[in-house]
Amino acid sequence: MDHFHGRDHFHEESVSRVKMGLNSIIYALCYIAMVFFALLAVWGFNSIFYQIAAGQINFMTIIVMLVSGGLAYGFYVLKNNQRIEYDYTFTNGVLDIAKIINNSKRKRLLSMNVKDFEVVAPISDEGFQRMLNHKGIQKRYNYFLNRGGGLYYGVFTQDGAKSMLVFEPSQKMLELFKIYNPRNIKIQ
């Protein structure tokens, strides 16, 4: 329980790309390339065993196998990065941000108390450009997928480092922030 009206405040939201067209095409092309280069790597691997059995090793086959394996892995990573979401979870004044890759892998990125924000405002606010060029900002966190009017920035200090977060919270999330940090949250 918190001391604000005797109730818990919890809100969770996922941010995903609004326009997925180009990402879907890249995803499909990467999948095809990944399979092609993986098969080429397997072929190279099998060929090496036949060459060893015959007593002759062709180093070009080894190079083709290694390069193909590396390319297959590269296309696998690129494919998965086409399907990214950010989860923003707000629990009683604490904001947690996680990255979801390909609807399966969750990576925790940031956890902070909303009271630590010196400011949260839309990027259209005059302070945003000033903060972008501010020499004191040591860390920048860009946890958004869509450009446009829904982007906000927040400035805070964590582990002794002045940091800036750019993200796309909903109105409801911002209103909850305002409960815990009424002076420093500007809602558009």
Q: How far is CA 126 from CA 39, 56, 130, 131, 175, in A?
A: 54, 69, 7, 9, 21
pLDDT top residue among 11 and 18: 11
The CATH architecture one would assign to domain 10-16+86-180 is Roll (2.30)
Q: Average pLDDT over the chain, rounded to whole? A: 90
Q: Write out pLDDT tens, residues 72-123.
A: 999 999 998 888 899 999 999 999 999 999 888 899 999 999 999 999 999 9
- Work out the percent of the chain whose per-residue pLDDT is above 90: 66
Q: How confident is the model over 171-177, as a mean pLDDT? A: 95
Residue extents of the structural domains in the chain? 10-16+86-180, 21-80
Tell me phi and psi for residue 67, to 5 degrees: -65, -45
The pLDDT of residue 6 is: 56
- Amino acid letter, residue 128: F
Q: Write out pLDDT tens, residues 126-167.
A: 889 998 888 899 999 999 988 777 899 999 998 899 999 999
Given a cut of 70, whether residue 4 has pLDDT beyond it is no
The pLDDT of residue 62 is: 93
- Work out the percent of the chain whose per-residue pLDDT is above 70: 95
Tell me, what DSSP letter sits at residue 137? -
pLDDT top residue among 6 and 99: 99
Burial of residue 59, with CB atoms counted within 10 A of its CB: 0-12 exposed, 13-18 middle, 19 or more buried: exposed
Name the pTM for this structure. Answer: 0.76
The pLDDT of residue 96 is: 97
Q: How confident is the model over 167-187, as a mean pLDDT? A: 94
Given a cut of 50, whether residue 2 has pLDDT beyond it is no
Residues 124-153: b if buried by 16+ CB within 10 A, e if exposed: ebebbeebeeeeeeeeebebbbeeeebbbb
